Amino acid sequence: MIAQTPRLEIHPDRIAENAKVVYDLCHAHGAQVAAVGKVVCAHPEVIHAMLGAGADMVADSRIPNLASVAALGLERPSMLLRIPTPSAAHDVVRYADITLNSSLGSLTVLSDAARMLGVRHQAVLMIDVGDLREGVWPDQAPDVAKAAAALPHLDLVGVGANLACYGGVVPSVENMRMLVEVRDACREASGLELGLISGGNSSSLPLLASGDMPPEINHFRIGETVVLGSNVLDRSDWPGTRQDTVRLVTEIVELERKPSVPIGLRAQNAFGETVEFDDRGTRLRAICNIGRQDTSVDGILPHDPGIRVIGGSSDHLILDVEDATGDVRLGAEVAFTPNYGALLGLATSPYVEKIVRRG
């Protein structure tokens, strides 16, 4: 059977190798690991690889992804990373054992949903320690925790923080100690144990590897470093991991020599952008069958060092292949390594076939 294009080739065995390296680091610190599969849209082979490497629970931002994980029949807790939507509270409680929350209102809605479903729900109170995405401001957290302790069908099990996503704030000894101090204040105010302190995502791994992570931090939510083998603070290779875990393969649908600068009066493109072009003369250009509807075209790196991504429209990827070293012809395949943002789109797009490769 001929493999279709565009396709995303996934190597779960290689991802499992990466996971073992990262999870061993976390476990040596005495911390649990939530395996985050959202960048591959919770692909079942990747989830199995992560759990087989020792993940303690599965985490995702989307309820449909958690529902698909639940259908696999895996006996591990599930965590919803995205702030719960009140209108979807019943589905949240049904498919997520634990949620990350940033308001008493959300916790109350979840407690009510748990009552109606006849269950108890676990929650982590998120604290904003400087990145300015989700989280209760530190001085308000004890009051929220005290009120949450009175909710009849909800167990507040800990606190957490998110860093390096919105504001790019790097996890540090200072903001991690702040998280511990806020937990202690919440514990005193509420009388709850609050034993779980979730110290962030893959961006926390450099601090953990340095040996400076406070010992009280005992939970991490790890995705990108496992899937792509990258240090998310600078996108360098994470020590001991592989980067050949996923591959985008496209197909050349047009090959022509054309000028490198558009001809005629120019306005905004289809995405409202005014683009500047480098005049490199007449060049051999290829169009491939993928576009911005499926991925971030700025986030894919051609395997052929002689190929350069020029840009893309919603349906087409435009390449300069004048200096290509590989096969360049109509119908030839062109491979790329996607970064995190590009992979997120590829895995989500229904127009990109997903293929599992072994070995």
- Residues with active-site annotation: 38
DSSP letter assigned to residue 56:
S
How far apart CA 120 and CA 102 sit, in angstroms, is 19
Q: Which two tokens stand for residue 97?
A: 């054992």
- CB neighbour class for 257 (10 Å; exposed up to 12, middle 13-18, buried from 19): exposed
Q: Which residues contact 110 (CB under 8 A, 6 or more apart)?
A: 84, 89, 92, 93, 99, 101, 121, 123, 154
> Nearest Cα to 10, choosing from 58, 43, 34?
43
> Nearest Cα to 186, choosing from 106, 130, 133, 124?
124
Q: Which two tokens stand for residue 258?
A: 């054309």
Q: Which residues, listed in sequence order, are joined to residue 192 by a DSSP beta bridge?
A: none
Return the half-sphere exposure (C-beta side, CA atoms, 13 A cut-off) of residue 243. Answer: 15
Q: Is 288 left (phi over 0), alpha (psi -120 to 50) or beta?
A: beta
How far apart CA 95 and CA 78 sit, in angstroms, is 7
Beta strand pairing call for 230-231 and 236-237: antiparallel
Q: How far apart are the first and last CA of the chain?
A: 20
b vs e for 48-71, b when ≥16 Cβ sit within 10 Å of the residue's Cβ?
ebbbebbbbbbbbbbbebbbbbee
CA distance to 141, 311, 313, 346, per residue, from 316 (Å): 48, 9, 5, 14
